[in-house]
Structure 1
Amino acid sequence: MPVSSGVRKRIREFLDPDDEIHYVFPADIFGSANPCVFIAVTRKTITILSTGRLSRKSPKRVISTTLRNHRIGPVETATTPWFKFNGIVYEIDDEYVSVVHAADAEILRDVAKPEDPLPDL
């Protein structure tokens, strides 16, 4: 199920006002006592927000922020889909695998651009 507009609005409150959300998806931190998070991929950053124990629908605080020049995946899909990001293992629902792939494709597309061979022209 896609992340609702209400949740996106609450997530925006934790981000820079001049930034824009490209992708948002819920995940669980593997083996954590407080596992529920949202991962927000913006134009500038990848921000991970904790939801707290009582609700998966309300972000409570920012856990970490990484510059957008990092990949999130690859996602391992042999069992429950999971990926390792900044040393932490996250599990996601099947429906969000394509979101991670799209976010990674966006960053890889920007990295794969060749340098201008004639920059002085």
Structure 2
Amino acid sequence: MPVSAGVRKRIKELLDPDDEIHYVFPADVFGSTNPGVFFAVTRKTITILTTGYLSRKMPKRVVATTLRNHRIGPVDTSTVPWFKFNGVDYEIDDEYISVVHAADAEIMRGKPEDPLPDL
């Protein structure tokens, strides 16, 4: 299910007012019972926001911010879809794999592929 307009509005309230959200998706810290998180990929940053224990559907506060020049993936889909970001393993629902790929493709635009990758 896509992230609701209410969640996007709450995320926007917690971000730099001059920034704009490009992608948002929920994730869980792999193997943890901690609250869930939301990744907000903006023009400037990748921001991770935590939810509360009572409601895993509403972001409460920012826990980490990274400059936008980092990739989020790749997503490993051999089991439950998961990826490692800043040393932490996160799992996501299948429907958000394409969101991670789109966010990564956006950052990779403008960087030409190596025409001779084997040399």
TM-score (norm 1): 0.89
Give the number of equivalent residue pairs: 113
Runs of 4+ with deviation above 2 angstroms: 110-113
Check if 1:80 corresponds to 2:80. yes
Task: Name the TM-score, length of structure 2 as normaliser.
Answer: 0.91
- Secondary structure class of the residue paired with 2:109: helix
Q: Percent of pairs identical after alignment?
A: 80
User: Matched residues in 2 for 1:31 and 1:73: separation?
Assistant: 18
Deviations 1:51-94 (A, max 9, x none): 01111211111110000000000000011000000000000000
Structure-2 residue corresponding to 1:57: 57
State the alpha-carbon separation in 1 of the partners of residues 12 and 98 from structure 2.
22
Structure 1: state its 5+ residue gaps.
Answer: 114-121
Is the partner of 2:110 in helix, strand or coil? helix
Cα distance, 1:25 vs structure 2: 0.2
Counterpart residue identity of residue 90, structure 2? Y
1:35 Cα deviation (Å)? 3.9
Q: Which has the larger radius of gyration?
A: 1
Match of 1:111, SS?
coil
Report the 3-state secondary structure (helix = DSSP H, G, I; strand = E; otherwise coil) of the residue aligned with 1:83.
Answer: strand
State the distance in 2 between where 1:32 and 1:95 align: 21
Letter in 1 for 2:18: D
**Deviation, structure 1 residue 30:** 1.0
Q: CA RMSD in A?
A: 1.2
Q: Does 2:20 align with 1:20?
A: yes
The one-letter code matched in structure 1 to 2:75 is V
Aligned partner of 1:107 in structure 2 is 107
